[in-house]
Amino acid sequence: MLQRLTIERLGHKGEGVARTEEGLVFAAFALPGETVLAEVEGERARVVDILEPSPDRIEPFCPHYGVCGGCAVQTLAAPAYAQWKRGLAETALRNAGLDWPVEPLIDAHGAGRRRVTFHARYERGVAHVGFMRARSHDLVEIDVCPLLEPRLVGAPAAARALAQALAGRGKPLDIAATAATGGLDIDIRGAGALEERETLALLELAESLDLARLANHGRLVTLRLPPGVMIGNIQVFPPPGAFLQATAEGEAAIARLVAKGVGDKAKNVADLFCGVGAFALRLAAQARVTAIDSDVAAVEALDRAARTARGLRPISAQARDLFRRPLDVRELNAFDAVVFDPPRAGAMAQAQALAASTVRRIVAVSCDPQSFARDAAILSKGGYAAKFITPIDQFRHSPHLELVALFERAAEAAPRRRLLSR
């Protein structure tokens, strides 16, 4: 049904929000202040025409915008865009009952995204590679994505060739490509165990495409050149498919804020959910670091890098599932500062233990404002207050947002120690 909608604001997914007699309606690619004509079905709307455009509307730079689901907001002028993205953090905190200020948004797009995951689907034995359509399981085939850094320019073609080599399986694939120092580092997911002929075909392609490394479900297919990434001035060789911050500039910006939060007086620091050491390897320039993550291969990569780097304080790299076995209060109290950077779901159990600890400085890094606000509320109830909360945008034109915050416990808010009877 066609309706005339007035867009009030952008929602947390980047969709325009309109209010109707039936309730809220969400219109993708519409902007605040606009009047649009849209096909409305339930709470979803597809914009047919923009009757009154926003003064903040600009032209999109990508020909796939409006079809590809990778970018939610590409037509909003920079000042209004930054205000919306900062507002995502403000709204999440407010909904959690926290009245803490949020600093201005830091643009950390830099040279572009250094990692990307393509989806592969098949039609009559022909591989099609790209991203998913907005709110759909249909594929948008792409050859170029302007958000990727230059070293990934050949990644779409490489992903398509690799997918075609596995066309006999007909299975949907996810093909993750990372820009490494040795070239493209690619991990294929979804194919299952490979047959010998498939492995041989992939080996030939890795050679012809000049890939640094090729893996299948994290298992090495071939290693041609060391696929390194630089963490500061230290080279690390992550395992296939390892987590990295989306942009190199994003990692550097987050790390600077982490170091600021830890401070220069902390001599014993915990880095929880450490991955391959984006923070630990930098913090070890001045402090002993205990780095913990459940990804054994990532921890081993961090340990190897720490052992070969010069000028670092000791790093104890440990594999431990912090969701099942979070550090307890006794363990936490041994540290001057704790950094924690959990996955999108946050770290409720670890936040609860931190809230009961006597750690003076806690630096939280998050990629989800809602789980961040939940964990921040736990720390707040334990007597911690945020000294700064900084949003970082390394996923430009999407609703994804990084946050870095410093929490400090006031001396008078320290939990009382219980006397243990003998």
Active site residues: 367
Amino acid, single-letter form, for residue 98: L
13/399 Cα distance (integer angstroms)? 5
Count of Cβ atoms closer than 10 Å to residue 395 Cβ: 22
Using the structure block, give the residue that is written with the tokens 């720390």: 379
Q: In a 3-state reduction of DSSP, which class is residue 337?
A: strand
| C-alpha closest to that of 109 among 68, 154, 146 | 146
Print burial letters for 178-208: b (CB count within 10 Å at least 16), e (below 16).
bbbbbbbbbbbbbbeebeeebbebbeebbee
CB 326 within 8 A of CB 353: yes
Amino acid, single-letter form, for residue 366: S
Q: What is the DSSP string of 101-143?
A: --PPPEE--TT-BSEEEEEEEEETTEEEEEEEBTTSS-EEE-S
Distances (CA, A) of 413 to 263, 265, 269, 385: 21, 21, 21, 10
Tokens at 129, concatenated: 């590679």
- What DSSP designation does 412 have? G
Determine which helix (DSSP H) or strand (DSSP E) holds 47, and give its type and residue range.
Answer: strand 44-52
Distances (CA, A) of 211 to 164, 217, 225: 16, 17, 8
Tokens at 361, concatenated: 């400085």
Distances (CA, A) of 410 to 130, 235, 331: 50, 38, 20
104/108 Cα distance (integer angstroms)? 13
349/351 Cα distance (integer angstroms)? 5
**For every residue of 247-263, which 3-state class applies, written as one string?**
CHHHHHHHHHHHHHHHC
